[in-house]
């Protein structure tokens, strides 16, 4: 087993593992951005139905072009992962696993650079860890948000000298939507349809707020033009593809009492609204 069903309990384990990683990272914690399934709760504080949760911690490493990486030093990363209780899942070591109460938490180390697409990228100074190069996660580099996470008693038993909270950078609303849209267009997973539309629907500004955040993110000079293509493709999949049905199935699993037909309609309308606002 290398994964389990999403649940609120699994999410709590993932967040606790992330807190321990932050403690192990120390001063290097601000070099990373959390981009995955832990974000929806922060981006949708008043959602009427809780997000299903996650079993994974997705971390974005910011790498430059192949010719300007020599100044980087990730020698600290493998010792920190091991101090956090993680072991590599495979030889290329971009996925790391930890067992908590017979359940697994997985950390994915990701980057988004132009060379070696879909390959594991060697990290300067690190021999036992790499980052998976995917097209799209770099959207999360747009104005990341620093968040504080409380250190609870469970963590403190392993880290007795820990402070009361740790701080980490998380994807902003616009950054998350760019990265998630890219994930949906590249791997077409049901959880990506659900995560994307959940945040579009339930962020404090709803679809209009999502559209504004996407537009603002796309205007950032360093954002690649492919992100705009990914966003529109992902949104169109809710209108003419099966992403709305996928979203509805996950919402039913989360306990939403609306009919499947209504949830599908809401998703399509939300996507149409964002597309119309983007122009």
Per the CB < 8 A criterion, the answer to whether 145 and 137 are in contact is: no
pLDDT in tens, 252-270: 999 999 999 999 999 999 9
What does the pLDDT read at residue 70? 67
Question: What secondary structure does DSSP assign to 160-224, as a single string?
Answer: TT--SEEEEEE--HHHHHHHHHHHHHHH--HHHHHHHHHHHHHSTTHHHHHHHHHHHHHTSTTS-
**What value does the mean pLDDT take over residues 197-225?**
95
Q: How many residues in the chain? A: 279
What does the pLDDT read at residue 1? 39
Distance of CA 167 to the CA centre of its chain: 17
pLDDT in tens, 62-85: 875 544 556 788 999 999 999 999
SS3 content of the chain, % helix, strand, coil (to 5): 50, 15, 35
Per the CB < 8 A criterion, the answer to whether 108 and 36 are in contact is: yes
Q: pTM for the full model?
A: 0.93
For the chain, what is the mean pLDDT?
A: 92
């Amino acid at each position: 087993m290398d994964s389990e069903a999403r649940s609120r309990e699994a999410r709590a384990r993932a967040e606790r593992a992330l807190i321990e990683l932050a403690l192990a990272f120390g001063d290097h914690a601000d070099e990373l951005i959390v981009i995955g399934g832990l974000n929806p709760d922060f981006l949708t504080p008043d959602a009427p139905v809780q997000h299903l949760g996650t079993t994974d911690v997705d971390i974005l490493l910011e790498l430059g072009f192949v010719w300007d990486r020599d100044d980087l030093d990730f020698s600290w990363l493998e010792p920190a992962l091991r101090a956090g209780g993680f072991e590599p899942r495979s030889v290329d070591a971009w996925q790391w696993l930890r067992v908590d109460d017979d359940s697994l938490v997985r950390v994915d180390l990701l980057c988004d650079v132009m060379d070696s697409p879909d390959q594991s990228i060697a990290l300067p100074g690190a021999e036992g860890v790499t980052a998976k190069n995917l097209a799209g996660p770099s959207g999360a580099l747009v104005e990341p948000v620093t968040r504080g996470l409380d250190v609870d008693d469970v963590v403190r038993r392993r880290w007795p000298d820990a402070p009361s909270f740790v701080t980490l950078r998380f994807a902003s609303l616009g950054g998350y939507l760019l990265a998630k849209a890219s994930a949906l267009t590249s791997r077409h997973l049901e959880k990506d349809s659900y995560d994307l539309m959940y945040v579009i629907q339930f962020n404090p500004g709803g679809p209009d707020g999502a559209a504004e955040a996407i537009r603002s993110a796309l205007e950032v000079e360093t954002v690649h033009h492919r992100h705009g293509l990914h966003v529109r493709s992902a949104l169109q999949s809710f209108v003419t593809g099966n992403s709305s049905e996928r979203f509805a199935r996950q919402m039913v699993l989360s306990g939403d009492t609306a009919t499947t037909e209504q949830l599908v309609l809401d998703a399509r309308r939300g996507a149409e609204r964002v597309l119309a606002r983007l122009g």
